[in-house]
Amino acid sequence: MGGVNKPLYGVGSSKKDLMALPMPVRRLFGHALDFAQRGDQHGTAKPLKGFGGAGVLEILEDDAGGTYRAVYTVRFAQAVFVLHCFQKKSKSGIATPQQDMDVIRARLKVAELLAKELQHGKAGD
């Protein structure tokens, strides 16, 4: 895609949640999201299981405070949407907790509506 920067939108509280993360984590997540905006995939990003393909991706980062995740979608041509940013609290297993999966699914539906508005030139900042 080279050179075309898609806009970046936070869905729900994802931008506020991202800004509350430790600075080193925010820096990595911001860098990975910049890649996504340019049509690339950062080395730390991988498809999130349960969403059928690479349209929904997650970035994981370990910090002294724990493990953090950011989930975003590149499924829509109009923009990159950050769906959820959170600290993984579960000490057992690597699966994303059901509550977080529910938030991601709900926000993906919101992102789909926002993408349609952007496509038709109706979304305001």
Report if pTM > 0.85: yes
Q: Is pLDDT above 50 for 1? A: no
Contacts of 88 (CB under 8 A, 6+ apart): 66, 67, 68, 69, 96, 97
Could you tell me if 41 and 80 are in contact, meaning their C-beta atoms sit under 8 angstroms apart?
Answer: no
Q: Is pLDDT above 60 for 125? A: no
- Please, what is the average pLDDT of the chain? 90
Q: Is pLDDT above 90 for 73? A: yes
Could you tell me if 50 and 73 are in contact, meaning their C-beta atoms sit under 8 angstroms apart?
Answer: no
Per-position b or e across 53-82, b if 16+ CB within 10 A of its CB: eeebbbbbbeeeeeebbbbbbbbbebbbbb
What is d(CA 11, CA 53) in angstroms, rounded to the nearest whole number?
21
Mean pLDDT of 65-87: 95
